[in-house]
A and B are shown apart, each in its own frame.
Chain A
């Protein structure tokens, strides 16, 4: 059994996909969704939080604040296609009125690409290589993943794909090592003082 301290999973990234409208009796409708995830040094992504529901805009705003406070993400992405931009602006205005820091970043999803292809593009390399970790109790997210793309409800899996798209790819250690080794070699050959070589070794 391997353990990772939560504090070591830094930075954390979050994404919110706001959906318009409140709970409806009529038909299938998309829900607002928030997913929080963090990568480790090997590029494995741990989903820390997944939530989706149809709630009024004000309640969603409160939830964004709550999630931001709990996880302190480096960036909180929010889908900003079309009128969603207005919602992002409203949240930011509200945050400034409350004097609260919210690292909200508007993310425009490409309209030229099909939603399913975009989701597939982000998640396939992660899931296929065993790099995506969920908690057992994230049943809804798990259900949306294993039934994708047949399930008409894709809010959580879409938010997950978007947050995975925000996370920068982990860089292999070797690139840094090779550069550093080359610099040290140069310093040694050029007869640099030991202290300088040590300082370079420590970065």
Chain B
């Protein structure tokens, strides 16, 4: 058996695992393909009614297997999201490397640029804050040396409602997720609405070891007043979408606000910032960050829904004619939203491949010539087309040449 199981009491026997529960810990690797991967250690975990967790068959809670499993989940955002949060729609081939990119610190400033509907917000704005909170102080992969439960994360959306949409699954997991509550009981309240100092739809305080000015998680909309707030981590989720794309001042406002907001970090050196986004316009927030913020690491891959001729997220877009139907549906926005490409010929006039470059070496310009130059030289030096007059050029005007000129209509006689 390699399945996470739940059990209410010893007498009731095994409950049928709910369909949403995944099997073994998902592979934390991209290549080789799943079928060729070495078998992963399976585990069975039983959550008692008391909330304690133990390995199936073990008489005591907190066995070696449970500790090992917990450590694995704490060390892998992908496994945490897939197993504990039950994000069964994640695809290992795509989301394992994406999660590695998200959780690898340093670098501490990252921008995840992915097409629409590829789970970037799910991972960064929903799973990541929880994963940060469950980190043990001795193995904290995000804020080394600090207990995860002391984290303070600001989750920013384009509007407050969007940020709260991401906030709700976090809250639900902390209140209801059996596995989360059993593996990390120190992170959750028994009755949060009564015990927590803040527990509403935009602020939550976990049972942390000491008090901070910021709540553990706070959801705000872009443009919110943040003076006095000093979170340890910031998540900017899709700050610039349609409204900003259609309004340059709105776009600039988003760029300036996010730039100023990063100054609020509790620790400028070790504070963490994640951006997620999709291209909506040429001069948008991702573009601005690419051009002006060298400290931010951008993902090089997974930017377009098709890479090397393959759909990167076949679980969702693997159906026949997916690309064509999206192209048809989104028209000129398709290259932006699904390919994160602003250089597409449907959007712009000039192709990058048509530009030519030279190097300045001392006083000389060096460049590669190509067939266009050869054609140019040919055009510029082609002899002129012979005209009717060429045969008469330079000959004295006499009766014969006059007759020829008259014949070719080059002479006009006044009546």
**B176 within 8 A of partner (CB):** no
**B60 within 8 A of partner (CB):** no
Are A153 and B283 neighbours in the complex by a CB distance under 8 Å?
yes
Taking a contact as CB atoms closer than 8 A, the residue among A6, A135, A174, A177 that contacts B364 in the complex is: A6
Are B394 and A135 neighbours in the complex by a CB distance under 8 Å?
no
Are B365 and A9 neighbours in the complex by a CB distance under 8 Å?
yes
Besides A3-B361, A130-B373, A152-B282, 13 other A-B contacts (C-beta < 8 A): A3-B366, A4-B367, A5-B365, A28-B251, A124-B349, A130-B354, A131-B376, A145-B355, A146-B351, A150-B342, A177-B383, A182-B390, A182-B394
Are A120 and B357 neighbours in the complex by a CB distance under 8 Å?
no
B381: nearest residue on chain A (CB-CB)? Answer: A173
Interface residues as binary, A162-203 with B (CB distance below 8 Å gives 1, 0 otherwise): 000000001011110110001001100110000000000000
| B348 neighbours in A (Cβ, 8 Å) | 146-150
Are B363 and A42 neighbours in the complex by a CB distance under 8 Å?
no
**A123 within 8 A of partner (CB):** yes
Taking a contact as CB atoms closer than 8 A, the residue among A5, A177, A189 that contacts B394 in the complex is: A189
| B350 neighbours in A (Cβ, 8 Å) | 123-124, 127, 145-146, 148
| A4 neighbours in B (Cβ, 8 Å) | 364-365, 367
Q: How far is the CA of A43 from the CA of B377 in the complex (A)?
A: 10
Interface residues of A in 120-167 (CB under 8 A from B): 120, 123-124, 127-136, 142-143, 145-153
Are A142 and B248 neighbours in the complex by a CB distance under 8 Å?
no
Closest Cβ–Cβ distance, residue A150 to chain B (whole Å)? 4
| A147 neighbours in B (Cβ, 8 Å) | 282-283, 342-343, 348
**B194 within 8 A of partner (CB):** no
Q: Which A residues fall within an 8 A CB radius of B?
A: 1-7, 9, 25-28, 41-44, 46, 120, 123-124, 127-136, 142-143, 145-153, 170, 172-175, 177-178, 182, 185-186, 189-190
Interface centre among A6, A127, A130 (most CB of B within 10 A): A130
A124: nearest residue on chain B (CB-CB)? Answer: B349
Interface residues of B in 358-412 (CB under 8 A from A): 358-361, 363-370, 372-373, 376-377, 379-384, 390, 393-395
Q: How far is the CA of A149 from the CA of B342 in the complex (A)?
A: 11
Are A130 and B393 neighbours in the complex by a CB distance under 8 Å?
no
Are A3 and B356 neighbours in the complex by a CB distance under 8 Å?
no
A42: nearest residue on chain B (CB-CB)? Answer: B376
A149 with B349, Cβ < 8 A, contacts A46-B365, A182-B394 known: yes
**B281 within 8 A of partner (CB):** yes
| B383 neighbours in A (Cβ, 8 Å) | 174, 177-178
**B253 within 8 A of partner (CB):** yes
Q: How far is the CA of A146 from the CA of B246 in the complex (A)?
A: 20
The 5 A-B pairs with the shortest beta carbon distances in the complex, nearest first, are: A186-B394, A130-B372, A150-B282, A27-B249, A147-B282
Are B342 and A130 neighbours in the complex by a CB distance under 8 Å?
no
Interface centre among B365, B373, B376 (most CB of A within 10 A): B365
Q: How far is the CA of A25 from the CA of B350 in the complex (A)?
A: 31
Are B393 and A182 neighbours in the complex by a CB distance under 8 Å?
yes
Some 21 contacts from A to B, beta carbons below 8 A apart, are: A3-B366, A4-B365, A9-B365, A26-B249, A27-B248, A28-B249, A41-B380, A129-B376, A130-B373, A133-B356, A136-B359, A142-B352, A143-B291, A146-B355, A147-B342, A150-B342, A150-B348, A153-B283, A182-B393, A186-B393, A190-B394
B354: nearest residue on chain A (CB-CB)? Answer: A127
Closest Cβ–Cβ distance, residue A170 to chain B (whole Å)? 7
Q: How far is the CA of A111 from the CA of B225 in the complex (A)?
A: 43
Q: How far is the CA of A46 from the CA of B253 in the complex (A)?
A: 37
**B252 within 8 A of partner (CB):** yes
Are A135 and B359 neighbours in the complex by a CB distance under 8 Å?
yes
Interface residues of B in 251-281 (CB under 8 A from A): 251-253, 256, 281
Closest Cβ–Cβ distance, residue A173 to chain B (whole Å)? 5
